[in-house]
Amino acid sequence: MSKSVLKSIKVLSVFGTRPEAVKMCPLVKAIQGDPRLTGAVCVTGQHRQMLDQVLKAFDVQPDYDLNLMRAGQTLSGITAGVLEGLGPVLQAEQPDIVLVHGDTTTSFAAALAAFYQQISVGHVEAGLRSGNKLSPFPEEMNRCLTGRIANLHFAPTQSNADNLRREGIAHGIFVTGNTVIDALFSLVRPNYTFQAEGLNKIDLKGKRTLLLTAHRRENLGEPLRNIFAAVLKLAELYDDVQVIYPVHLNPAVREPAQAQLGGHPRIHLIDPLDVQDMHNLMAHCHLMLTDSGGLQEEAPALGKPVLVLRTETERPEAVEMGTVRMAGVEAANILREARALLDDQFAYDTMANAVNPYGDGHASERICDAIAETCLIESEVKRPC
């Protein structure tokens, strides 16, 4: 259907944590470049340094910053802060649609704040489900509730879309791919020079590099101690292996990481990396051990095997394809899975076969098209159902 576009659609993107920013910045850029859309950005500041790193990498300047992060912040504290803080922003901006991303406290609270003002919500990275309310906690429920509120659902994969349909959502579902692949493809370069001083001091060529990230709430405490015990054992067992761990700024992660892993010469605990450094380091590493969601999507696109340090995942696609394996949170199991890959080149190569189920790097464009198609009818801005 051809449409004469006179009025552009006002889109307010709201995000607050590192992973949301990595996945929303490519979309913010695409919105800025789309004549059918007018974009504004509000960051909640649920994260501070780790959010600012990403904004800088993509050169995104927010129009609003709620600056919420506090040491020891609670889920209810952030939720209340987003609800309170976003109200006046929505009043001032009067967007046609608010875009939120994924499963964080920011995402759910921002969707709710928009709903309270009867503003349409588009949910980016919709439809992922672990099926367990308590894992990932509270992200699984955040994502389900955001889906209930949303008018438009941008599902990365067909199986995410199927999850939504099974829950009775009949309209407004678009399979777009994941915008994380847009970010990755724009940042990984063949002759990249790392910016982080800490990284340039590490010899990435002489040893097999295991890249570790771990921060999830449900892993704090004993699971994290088990993970660290397994990693320490791996470093002790293999002279040709080194571990790089960009440690999350949460003190509940940093303190045990330092206590258990701090002393080993081949375990490098470093500060969180800029996203360009992180993506390019992933491209150079041998194997990833992670409880992160985003890394499970990025690694298959780079052909890197991933052991997931969790008991379940809402991202089964790469497990089915064979590049991601669930290693759980028991030290013996993690050790067994990692050793199987370190000792057996065939097993490693089989897993390292690059199969990327998460998109072709054009998810942001598809989301822009879906917003324009749904909201623009004959030059009038129409609210999606």
Which range binds ligand UD1 by CB under 6 A, 69-77, 191-199, 300-308, 344-352? 69-77
Q: How far apart are CA 150 and CA 338, in angstroms?
A: 40
* Nearer residue to ligand UDP within complex by CB, 100 or 275: 275
368 binds ligand UDP (CB under 6 A): no
* Nearer residue to ligand UDP within complex by CB, 130 or 213: 213
Do 61 and 32 touch, CB atoms closer than 8 A?
A: no
* Nearer residue to ligand UD1 within complex by CB, 34 or 125: 125
Picked from ligand UDP, ligand UD1, none, the partner binding residue 1 (CB below 5 to 8 A depending on kind) is none
298 binds ligand UDP (CB under 6 A): yes
Output helix, strand, coil percentages for the chain, rounded to the nearest 5.
Answer: 45, 15, 35
* Nearer residue to ligand UDP within complex by CB, 50 or 89: 50
Minimum CB–partner distance for residue 80 and ligand UD1 (Å): 13
- Residue from 18, 36, 123, 366 binding ligand UDP (CB under 6 A): 18
276 binds ligand UD1 (CB under 6 A): no
Which range binds ligand UDP by CB under 6 A, 156-164, 171-179, 275-283, 342-350? 275-283
Bridge partners for 244 per DSSP: 211, 268
Do 44 and 110 touch, CB atoms closer than 8 A?
A: yes
- State the CB neighbour count (10 A cutoff) for residue 77: 13
Nearby residues of 297 by Cβ (< 8 Å), 6 or more positions away: 156, 178, 180, 181, 315, 318, 358
Q: Which residues are catalytic?
A: 103, 125, 139, 215, 217, 248
Picked from ligand UD1, ligand UDP, none, the partner binding residue 138 (CB below 5 to 8 A depending on kind) is ligand UD1
Picked from ligand UD1, ligand UDP, none, the partner binding residue 213 (CB below 5 to 8 A depending on kind) is ligand UDP
Work out whether the CA dihedral 260, 262, 264, 269 comes out positive or negative.
Answer: positive
List the 267-270 sheet strands across, edge first.
Answer: 267-270, 241-246, 208-213, 287-290, 306-308, 324-326
Minimum CB–partner distance for residue 78 and ligand UD1 (Å): 6
256 binds ligand UDP (CB under 6 A): no
- The CA-atom distances, in angstroms, between 183 and each of 20, 24, 98, 305, 376 are 11, 9, 21, 20, 27
Nearby residues of 318 by Cβ (< 8 Å), 6 or more positions away: 296, 297, 299, 300, 306, 324, 355, 357, 358
1 binds ligand UD1 (CB under 6 A): no
Picked from ligand UD1, ligand UDP, none, the partner binding residue 250 (CB below 5 to 8 A depending on kind) is ligand UD1
Helices 105-116 and 75-93, packing angle to 10 deg: 40
Nearby residues of 346 by Cβ (< 8 Å), 6 or more positions away: none
Residues that bind ligand UD1 (CB under 6 A): 17-19, 46-51, 71-73, 103-105, 138-139, 215, 217, 248-251
Residues that bind ligand UDP (CB under 6 A): 18-19, 22, 213, 246, 272-273, 275, 278-279, 292-295, 298
